Amino acid sequence: MKPRSLMIIVLLVLLSSFASSQTFGFASVDGSYLYCNYEVLAEAYRAVWEGVDILILCGGNINGDIVGTSGGISASGNPAGFVVKGVTYADDIYDAFSLTFTGLQWYVVTDLKCSTFKNGRYSGKYGWIGFAVTEGIVYGDNYGYLSCQLTGQPGSPPFKDVSNAGATTIPAKK
């Protein structure tokens, strides 16, 4: 077993030992595939959450750190027009991929319940939305279904070789 694989297994076991620990994959907006990354979230203290964005299947050398709080977004406050209630968090996915400070931030609002997977597709309620931000400007978003099946597991849907935050190579901030 590779040291990186062993480290991820140990991390998953440690985070799973918390009372409120969740692991989710990100499915596309059309429900047909998973993105190559997935999240491991644990309630650290009351409404404060910590976690890891697992990037190994995206070709990442390190994982992204996650920190956030219990929360959500209303349909009227969401540019995509749907409610999400669970955890809101900052994810340093761009810095993790770049192995340097980029000045970019990925901000996610995620449910804590999986979307329905039936007949090879996800359906029902969208479970997450993420926003890309730099220097105070929101320059993109992505959203889709939340999956209890993780990328690369036997029987999981196909996955796309890109993270839910977009490209895996981000230029460093100058």
Q: Per-residue confidence of the chain (174 residues) as pLDDT tens digits? A: 555 544 544 444 444 444 467 899 999 999 999 999 999 999 999 999 999 999 988 888 999 999 999 999 999 999 999 999 999 999 999 999 999 999 999 999 999 999 998 888 899 999 999 999 988 888 888 999 999 988 777 777 788 878 999 865 544 444
Per the confidence metrics, is the pTM higher than 0.85?
A: no
CB burial of residue 41 (10 Å; 0-12, 13-18, 19+): buried
CB 18 within 8 A of CB 43: yes
Question: What's the rounded Cα separation, in Å, for the pair 57 and 5?
Answer: 11
Domain ranges for the chain, please list them.
3-160
The dihedrals phi and psi of 10, each to the nearest 5 degrees, come to -60, -45
